[in-house]
Amino acid sequence: MTLTSDRTETETPAENPPETTPPAAGGRVLGLVGGTIGLRRLGVALGVYLACLAVFALVVISKGADPLGVANSMVHSAFLGTGSIQQLLLRSVPIVLAALAVAIPARAGLVNVGGEGQLIVGAVAATGVGVAVGHAVPGPLSWLLMALAGAAAGGLWAGISGILRTSLGANEAVTTLLLNFVANDLMLYLIYQPWKDPNSSGQPQSRPLAAQAQLPYILGHWLNLAMIVTGVAAVGALLLLKRTGWGFGLRVVGGNPEGGRRAGLPVNRLLLSSMVVGGAFAGLGGMLNLAGTEFQLRPDITLTFGYVAFLASWLGRHDPVKVVAASILFSAIALGGNGLQLGYGLDGSVVDILLGLIVVAPLVLAKNRRKAI
């Protein structure tokens, strides 16, 4: 067992709820020790974040740019320009959903690094359906069909890794990673050959969705339907995890699979279903990104969103509400990188460094770290 004093303030899903009433005998002493450690941890957290910012500033300076100007530019392109907030929310759609695809299996202790591939197959399936029926059927019906196809494809793709894990014990982090590359090559094959838009010049891409199959803006042209669906899906994920027996089962299995097995829980079915449901969220994200923003497949359509989402889920410690918040924050940072190429001659991927650094802190400060050797 870990020391009581070593698990004071942050709650982790995998563990028992924090002790509200410490054992009577050493209660006060333990509380005191807890408090001291809490302060120390706060200090460490501040130190880690400051170190992260310093490293990022160093990178920026070493490329000959002014760090304050860069910070200003990032805030400006993410929050302040005309339509920025709208852009931000629309851009965060695939990241939020792919992050939930990480968070849901993580509840059961699985590491889904396949958000990228699941976004891709979701977008691919949606394109297949959307291009085929988009002209023929009314908009809402094609949206529904595309969403179902995207979610099914994402769930299936993640399910492959789920089955490999439950039936053969193949590590899901490695198989989901490998499948990302397969998914990307599959998409490239489709847009370079069978699905290639004959009318496009330059970079190959698929035929665009018919106008009626594209997700519309509603409420005074401000909210895109993709944002609303994402919001509903996020609430759905929250309810699934916190209010259903299935969600509870995932937590039990994630905390102690052997215990879950002994308590009669269908452990393998829970593990597999968590991957499939997670993958379906990401697949839906790929569909919404396609039907709400992109309208046609092109190379780099996901732009490492799946990996950004992975980091966001760890920043939010796989808690649905925090994960959504972290995803929007990360979308803002990713968006903030857009102006840097023009304004400061910095490659846009400089923000990847910032994203990675931000996640270092929760990782090294997490409560459910492995036990000491």
> What is the binding site for another protein (CB under 8 A)?
59, 63, 109-111, 113, 164, 168-171, 173-175, 177-182, 185-186, 188-189, 192-193, 254, 256-258, 304, 307, 310-311, 314, 346-347, 349-357, 359-360, 363-366, 369-373
Helix (H, G, I), strand (E, B) or coil at 65: coil
The answer to whether the CB of 37 falls within 8 A of the CB of 5 is yes
Rg (CA), the chain: 22
CB of 314 to another protein, least distance (A): 5
Q: How far is the CB of 331 from another protein (least distance, A)?
A: 15
Give least dist CB 182 to another protein, A: 5
Nearest distance, CB of residue 312 and another protein, angstroms = 12
Q: Closer to another protein at the Cβ: 242 or 367?
A: 367
Least CB distance from residue 181 to another protein, whole Å? 5
Chain position carrying tokens 């929310």: 89
Nearer to another protein, 56 or 143 (CB): 56
The residue (of 161 and 214) whose beta carbon lies closer to another protein is 161
| Burial group, residue 217, by CB count within 10 angstroms (0-12, 13-18, 19+) | middle
Q: Tell the smallest beta-carbon distance from residue 188 to another protein (Å).
A: 4
Closer CB to another protein, 82 or 193, in the complex? 193
Where does residue 264 fall: left (phi above 0), alpha (psi -120 to 50 degrees), or beta otherwise? left
Q: Residue 61 contacts by C-beta under 8 Å, 6 or more apart in sequence?
A: 67
Looking at the Cβ atoms of 119 and 227, the one nearer to another protein is 119
Nearer to another protein, 184 or 224 (CB): 184
- Closest to another protein by CB, 46 vs 136, is 46
Interacting residues of 99 by C-beta distance below 8 A, sequence separation 6+: 115, 309, 310, 312, 313, 316, 323, 324, 326, 327
Q: Which is nearer to another protein, 172 or 294 (CB)?
A: 172
Question: What SS3 string covers 274-288?
Answer: HHHHHHHHHHHHHHH
Give the closest residue to 159 by CA, choosing from 321, 272, 23.
Answer: 272
Query: Residue 236 Cβ, how far from another protein at the closest point, in Å?
Result: 25
Rounded least distance, CB 328 to another protein, Å: 19
CB of 233 or CB of 308, closer to another protein: 308
Nearest C-alpha neighbor of 123 from the set 274, 298, 323, 277: 298
Residue 106 and residue 253 in contact, taking contact as beta carbons nearer than 8 Å: no
Q: Give, as one character, the DSSP assignment of residue 4.
A: G
| Measured CA distances, 244 to 240, 249, 291 (Å) | 5, 9, 31
Distance in Å, CB of 98 to another protein, minimum: 14
**Strand blocks (E) in the chain:** 217-218, 223-224
